[in-house]
């Protein structure tokens, strides 16, 4: 059996008296596309923030291809192949779209500017942004901003990408295009963890769906299994009152 | 050190604390409501000193009315500054609001300092104090002007705290400090409260300047040192926290009062007097950025 | 004309202009401009930190003073030649900058501003209090950089160093480091998520900016031959801020030009006395409020827009 791409075991996170993650175990293999769902406050973004190095953990381990992730800074993990996006995009607004890409492309300190630019233009073309390469990121629409964040993450040539609510506030046509890109990257071998409230997208894209509720994994299965799991239904109904 | 000397230092510390607290409270209210650190606060304090001096020397008013004039003049000035310069910070007109607020108030402080130099000249002025003479408490002798000024400061602080607690306006100020959005939903005009907070903050600085003017002279750079103390205090107490500012003032007054007598070489001790607070400021910001009494704020 | 060529041409004209000025001016103005170069380096070094990295500091003038004292004392007590004294100034200011950068990593905005004010004031107070070493507020005599150097010689020396500093800053900011700095200014978490070592570059930026300030202060001391703690004061910091803001603090060259231009104006308007500083303050407020990119920034943007409209190649 091969080592999983990402192996989380016994992960604990507390904020004061509140337990955000209650000994979470999760193993994700290379090339998987996993949906991570759960009601508000269930710990999804907390989990993502720990895996990407933004929060320290209070217990447990996380291994990426066998090496420990905990204790490493976000930039180290980014260079080590764990890329992420943010729920609210964190674009460099006063830099151009291309410069946004180059930050990621040059952060390893060795790639030449010419090589990084070429790669960036290719990715921008993939995401239909090449026309805007020399515009300031501030001038992008919300949806274009989401695409730029995708493109920046891909500049890292990541092994895993963690996408936090990529479809929030995106119109349906663009969402379709994003689905296509996510599926294509996954098909090219990138492991993807997708957090979303958009069940339609999750069930369509992901073969495996993990449900968190109050810091516990309450379901880990196919979309069908998840849909029919009474615990998942309870978790959502308890919060949303139908 | 004799017991008397200890008492004397402690009392000196308390007197100094009351002025510091007055200036620091203004800073705390402005920060609480607007999330702006007013880097021109020291110059507001200085202008208060001059307003008091002018009221007494040019208008011939009695000292008590001089205080009223200083407070009113600075309140109007503060409201104007808020309207002209500070409003872009929160109405979306400034591109990078925090950077803008820091630079604009810092630039304002330099402008006001130079303006005072041009208008009033660099010479020190000494307006009439509230009260002359000395007061003896047992063997302790305190000069009356200081004690009277401290007494007025304590009364003003008490009035302010009661006002914040029991008047509608005071509650609106506290509401906006705690949660801007919620306050807006409940029909509080954030713009109006912002202007009010700036006016009140400026008036408090002005009053502190007016009270201190007769004790330490009125001169253009008179606000530079006290404002740094006010920063130390609000950082000590947690930026924007009003009880924190008062406790911070008490701590700083005592630290300065006692630290001075710990260095044997007297001229050096005097030269370093103003550095203790700064060291305290750095230590607090590095170790506990939310202040001793402030609430946890991840992004300092 | 392409924007690229226009820029090269403008820079060439600018440098040539400064090179011929001493032939046209008397000693007094040559002296004034030389002091202007000190402010140019200082304003540019501040712009490098505040405009590019988005880290506010009010310790820039204090760092210049520290450099001034380090160089002067190095020459006086360690017997260093003034050139090595300047090297010491760069090292000492750079090292303290690195330390402050490290200590203030978690601080932002007004908190950072306050902390840097505290460091600046502690430096000034120490320079005043340690009169055994620094002569306190009476001021410290400093050895000249050029023995028997004329005003014109100092002018060209400082012009050369200023141009050199600006070229160095320009190269730095055009390298990938410049991109990292700006990404940190825009969004620290975003920059880290793309592999930028935010912690390291924030410290390095503070160190580099302070080192330039230290060099400027060292040069100033060896040129004027007298330094006092007042060069570390917050009022002096206010002047540097005004210069950078008026020139345009999002561009090191504009900030530097602001430094020279305002120093010259301050001298030219001497008969206005203190009022020129008032006018200076008012202009700073107006520029901050209405022209966030400074006067030179706004001017260049207008020219660029006109060139584009008149059938440029874009």
Percent residues over pLDDT 90 in chain A? 69
pLDDT surpassing 80 at residue C310: no
Q: What is the rounded (10 degree) CA torsion for B253, B257, B263, B269?
A: 80
Q: If you count residue pairs, one on A and one on C, with CB atoms under 8 Å apart, how many are there?
A: 80
The residue with tokens 């919620």 is: B182
What pLDDT score was predicted for residue B294?
59
Domains of chain C and CATH, by start:
3-309 (1.10.3470)
Q: Identify which of C65-74, C75-84, C261-270 has the greatest average pLDDT.
A: C65-74
What's the average model confidence in pLDDT over B28-36? 88
pLDDT tens per residue across span B249-279: 888 887 877 776 776 777 777 778 778 888 8
**Which of C193, C196, C203, C250 to probe by mutation at the A interface, max A CB count within 10 Å?**
C193
Q: If you count residue pairs, one on B and one on C, with CB atoms under 8 Å apart, how many are there?
A: 135
Q: Are the Cβ atoms of B271 and C129 closer than 8 angstroms? A: yes
In degrees and rounded to multiples of 5, residue B171 shows phi and psi of -65, -35
What's the average model confidence in pLDDT over C90-118? 92
Residue B114: C-alpha distances to residues A171, B42, B218, C235 (Å): 56, 13, 15, 9
DSSP per residue over A203-214, as a string? HHH-SEEEEEET
What kind and span of H or E run contains C271?
none
What pLDDT score was predicted for residue A7?
92
| First-to-final CA distance of chain A | 43
Q: Are the Cβ atoms of C119 and B235 closer than 8 angstroms? A: no
What pLDDT score was predicted for residue B297?
44
| Residues whose CB is less than 8 angstroms from the CB of residue B92 and which lie 6 or more positions away in sequence, other chains included | none
Percent residues over pLDDT 70 in chain A? 97
Report the C-alpha gap between C286 and B138 in whole angstroms: 57
Confidence of residue A12 (pLDDT cuts 50, 70, 90): very high
Confidence of residue C86 (pLDDT cuts 50, 70, 90): very high
B35: alpha, beta or left? (left if phi > 0; alpha if psi -120 to 50): left
Q: Which residue of A has its CA nearest to C185?
A: A92
Report the C-alpha gap between C141 and C221 in whole angstroms: 9
Contact indicator for B197, B29 with CB cutoff of 8 Å: yes
Report the C-alpha gap between A148 and C187 in whole angstroms: 15
Tell whether B279 lies on the interface with C, counting CB pairs under 8 A: yes
Closest CA to A8 of A18, A34, A17, A16: A34
Burial class (CB in 10 A: 0-12, 13-18, 19+), A52: buried
Q: Please report, for chain A, the start and end positions of each structural domain, with discontinuous segments joined by +.
A: 32-42+72-240
Average pLDDT, chain C: 91
Q: Which chains are adjacent to chain C, needing at least 3 Cβ pairs under 8 Å?
A: A, B
What residues of chain B lie within 8 A of the CB of C118, using their CB?
228, 231-232, 278-279, 281-282, 285
What's the average model confidence in pLDDT over B195-210? 93
Q: Which residue of A has its CA nearest to C183?
A: A92
pLDDT tens per residue across span C162-198: 999 999 999 999 999 999 999 999 999 999 999 999 9
Confidence of residue A53 (pLDDT cuts 50, 70, 90): very high
Longest CA–CA separation in chain A, Å: 55
Tell whether C203 lies on the interface with A, counting CB pairs under 8 A: no
Q: Are the Cβ atoms of B118 and C275 closer than 8 angstroms? A: yes
Closest-CA distance, C179 to chain A, in angstroms, reads 6
Report the C-alpha gap between B112 and B152 in whole angstroms: 26
DSSP per residue over B74-136, as a string? HHHHHHHHIIIIIGGGTSS-SSSHHHHHHHHHHHHHHHHHHHHHHHH-S--B-PPPS--SEEE
Report the C-alpha gap between C111 and C118 in whole angstroms: 11
**Which of A72, A92, A149 to probe by mutation at the C interface, max C CB count within 10 Å?**
A92
What's the average model confidence in pLDDT over C63-84? 94
Report the C-alpha gap between C21 and C16 in whole angstroms: 9
CATH topology of domain B3-287: ABC transporter involved in vitamin B12 uptake, BtuC (1.10.3470)
DSSP per residue over A45-114, as a string? HHHHHHHTTSS--SEEEEEETTEE-TT--HHHHHHTTEEE--SS----TTSBHHHHHHHHHHTTS-S-HH
| First-to-final CA distance of chain B | 41
What kind and span of H or E run contains C165?
helix C151-174
Contact indicator for A11, A24 with CB cutoff of 8 Å: yes
What residues of chain C lie within 8 A of the CB of A85, using their CB?
193
- B27-63 in b/e burial notation, b at 16+ Cβ within 10 A? bbbbbbbbbbbbbbbbbbbbbbbbbbbbbbeeeebeb
Tell whether A98 lies on the interface with C, counting CB pairs under 8 A: no
Report the C-alpha gap between A153 and A123 in whole angstroms: 10
- Residues 210-239 on C with a CB inside 8 Å of B are 234-235, 238-239
Q: Are the Cβ atoms of C179 and A106 closer than 8 angstroms? A: yes
In CATH, which of 3.40.630.10, 3.40.50.300, 3.40.50.2300, 3.40.50.1100 is domain A32-42+72-240?
3.40.50.300
pLDDT tens per residue across span A95-149: 999 999 999 999 998 999 999 999 999 999 999 999 999 999 999 988 899 999 9
pLDDT surpassing 70 at residue A174: yes
Point out the residue among C185, C187, C197 whose CB comes nearest to the CB of A75: C197
**Which of A49, A90, A115 to probe by mutation at the C interface, max C CB count within 10 Å?**
A90
Q: Are the Cβ atoms of C195 and A79 closer than 8 angstroms? A: yes
Task: Look up residue C152 and give its two tokens.
Answer: 């014109």
Q: Are the Cβ atoms of C278 and B111 closer than 8 angstroms? A: yes
- Neighbour tally for B181: CB within 10 Å: 9
Tell whether C110 lies on the interface with A, counting CB pairs under 8 A: no
pLDDT tens per residue across span B216-257: 889 998 988 888 888 888 888 877 788 888 888 888 887 877
Q: Is C49 helix (H, G, I), strand (E, B) or coil?
A: helix
pLDDT tens per residue across span C31-41: 999 999 999 99
Task: Look up residue A46 and give its two tokens.
Answer: 């907390």
What residues of chain C lie within 8 A of the CB of B120, using their CB?
none
């Amino acid at each position: 059996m091969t080592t999983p791409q990402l192996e989380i075991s016994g992960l604990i996170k507390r904020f004061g008296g509140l337990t955000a993650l209650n000994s979470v175990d999760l193993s994700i293999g290379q090339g998987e596309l996993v949906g991570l769902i759960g009601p508000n406050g269930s710990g999804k973004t907390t989990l993502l923030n720990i895996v990407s190095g933004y929060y320290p953990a209070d217990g447990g381990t996380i291994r990426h291809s066998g090496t420990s992730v905990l204790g490493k800074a976000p930039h180290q993990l980014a260079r080590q192949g764990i890329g992420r996006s943010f729920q609210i995009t964190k674009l460099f607004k006063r830099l151009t779209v291309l410069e946004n890409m180059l930050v990621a492309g040059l952060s390893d300190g060795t790639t030449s500017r010419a090589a990084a630019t070429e790669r960036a233009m290719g990715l921008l073309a993939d995401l239909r942004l090449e026309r805007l390469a020399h515009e300031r990121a501030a001038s992008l629409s919300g949806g274009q901003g989401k695409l730029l964040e995708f493109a920046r993450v891909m500049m890292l040539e990541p092994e895993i990408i963690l996408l936090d609510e990529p479809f929030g506030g995106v119109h349906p046509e663009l969402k379709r295009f994003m689905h296509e890109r996510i599926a294509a990257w996954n098909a090219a071998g990138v492991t993807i963890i997708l957090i979303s409230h958009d069940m339609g997208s999750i069930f369509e894209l992901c073969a495996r769906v993990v449900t968190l509720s109050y810091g516990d994994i309450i379901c880990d299965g196919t979309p069908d299994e998840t849909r029919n799991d009474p615990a998942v239904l309870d978790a959502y109904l308890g919060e949303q009152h139908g | 050190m004799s017991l008397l000397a200890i008492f004397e230092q402690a009392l000196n510390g308390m007197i100094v604390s009351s002025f510091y607290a007055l200036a620091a409270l203004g800073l705390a209210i402005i920060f609480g409501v607007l999330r702006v650190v007013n880097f021109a606060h020291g110059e507001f304090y200085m202008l208060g000193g001059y307003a008091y001096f002018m009221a007494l020397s040019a208008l011939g008013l009695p000292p008590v009315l001089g205080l009223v004039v200083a407070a009113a003049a600075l309140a109007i000035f503060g409201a104007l500054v808020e309207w002209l310069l500070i409003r872009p910070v929160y109405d979306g007109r400034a591109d990078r609001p925090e950077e803008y607020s820091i630079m604009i108030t810092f630039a304002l402080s330099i402008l006001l300092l130079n303006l005072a130099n041009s208008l009033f000249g660099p010479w020190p002025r000494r307006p009439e104090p509230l009260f002359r003479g000395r007061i003896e408490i047992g063997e302790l002798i305190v000069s009356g002007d200081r004690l009277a000024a401290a007494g007025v400061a304590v009364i003003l602080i008490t009035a302010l705290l009661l006002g914040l607690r029991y008047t509608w306006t005071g509650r609106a100020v506290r509401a906006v400090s705690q949660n801007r959005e919620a306050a807006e939903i409940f029909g509080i005009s954030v713009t109006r409260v912002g202007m009010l907070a700036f006016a009140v903050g400026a008036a408090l600085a002005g009053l502190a300047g007016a009270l201190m003017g007769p004790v330490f002279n009125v001169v253009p750079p008179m606000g530079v040192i006290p404002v740094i103390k006010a920063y130390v205090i609000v950082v000590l107490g947690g930026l924007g926290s009003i009880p924190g500012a008062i406790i911070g003032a008490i701590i700083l007054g005592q630290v300065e009062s006692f630290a001075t007598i710990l260095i044997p070489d007297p001229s050096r001790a005097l030269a370093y007097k103003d550095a203790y607070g700064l060291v305290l400021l750095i230590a607090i910001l590095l170790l506990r950025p939310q202040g001793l009494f402030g609430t946890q704020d991840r992004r300092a | 004309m392409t924007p690229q060529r226009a820029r090269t041409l403008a820079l060439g004209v600018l440098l040539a202009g400064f090179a011929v000025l001493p032939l046209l001016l008397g000693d007094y103005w040559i002296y004034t401009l030389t002091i202007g170069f000190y402010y140019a380096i200082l304003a540019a070094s501040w712009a490098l930190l505040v405009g590019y990295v988005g880290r506010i500091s009010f310790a820039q003038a204090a760092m210049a003073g520290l450099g001034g004292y380090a160089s002067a004392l190095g020459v006086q007590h360690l017997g260093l030649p003034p050139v090595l004294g300047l090297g010491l100034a760069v090292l000492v200011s750079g090292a303290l900058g690195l330390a402050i950068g490290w200590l203030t990593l978690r601080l932002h905005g007004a908190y950072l501003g306050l902390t840097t004010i505290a460091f600046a004031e502690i430096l000034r107070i120490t320079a005043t209090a340690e009169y055994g070493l620094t002569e306190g507020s009476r001021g410290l005599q400093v050895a000249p950089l050029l023995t028997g150097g004329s005003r014109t010689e100092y002018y060209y020396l400082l012009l050369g160093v200023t141009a050199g500093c600006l070229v160095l800053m320009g190269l730095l900011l055009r390298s990938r480091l410049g991109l990292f700095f700006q990404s940190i200014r825009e969004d620290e978490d975003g920059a880290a998520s793309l592999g930028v070592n935010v912690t390291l570059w924030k410290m390095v930026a503070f160190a580099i900016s302070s080192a330039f300030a230290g060099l400027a202060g060292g040069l100033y001391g060896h040129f004027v031959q007298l330094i006092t703690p007042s060069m570390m004061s917050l009022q002096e910091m206010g002047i540097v801020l005004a210069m950078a803001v008026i020139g345009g603090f999002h561009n090191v060259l504009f900030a530097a030009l602001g430094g020279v231009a305002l120093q010259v104006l301050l001298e030219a308007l001497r008969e206005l006395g203190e009022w020129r500083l008032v006018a200076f303050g008012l202009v700073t407020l107006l520029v901050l409020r209405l022209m966030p990119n400074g006067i030179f920034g706004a001017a260049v943007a207008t020219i660029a827009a006109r060139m584009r409209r008149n059938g440029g190649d874009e």
